[in-house]
Amino acid sequence: MVGAKTDYHDANDCTYISWDGNCEAGSLETSYDYVRERLEIYQKFSEQHPDFYKPKVFALELPFRVAKHEHMYTWFIPFSMKFKICVLFFAEGKEGIDKDSLLNINQLRRIGVAIKVRH
pLDDT by 10s per residue, the chain, length 119: 333 333 444 555 666 666 665 555 556 678 888 899 999 999 999 999 999 888 889 999 888 888 888 889 999 999 999 999 999 988 877 766 788 889 999 999 999 999 998 86
Distance CA 100, CA 77 (A): 17
Distance CA 1, CA 17 (A): 9
pLDDT at 73: 94
Q: Cite the DSSP H helix spans in 49-98.
A: 50-53, 64-67, 77-80
pLDDT at 2: 33
pLDDT at 4: 30
Question: pTM value?
Answer: 0.79
Q: Please state, as a whole number, how many other Cβ atoms lie within 10 Å of the Cβ of residue 77.
A: 13
pLDDT at 24: 55
pLDDT at 66: 87
Q: Cite the DSSP H helix spans in the chain.
A: 28-48, 50-53, 64-67, 77-80, 99-110
Q: Which residues of 48-73 are buried (b: 16+ CB within 10 A; e: fewer)?
A: eeeeebeebebbbbbbbbbbbbeebb
Candidates 1.10.8, 3.30.70, 3.40.50, 3.10.50; correct CATH number of 8-118?
A: 3.40.50
Distance CA 96, CA 51 (A): 39
Dmax over Cα atoms in the chain, in whole Å? Answer: 42
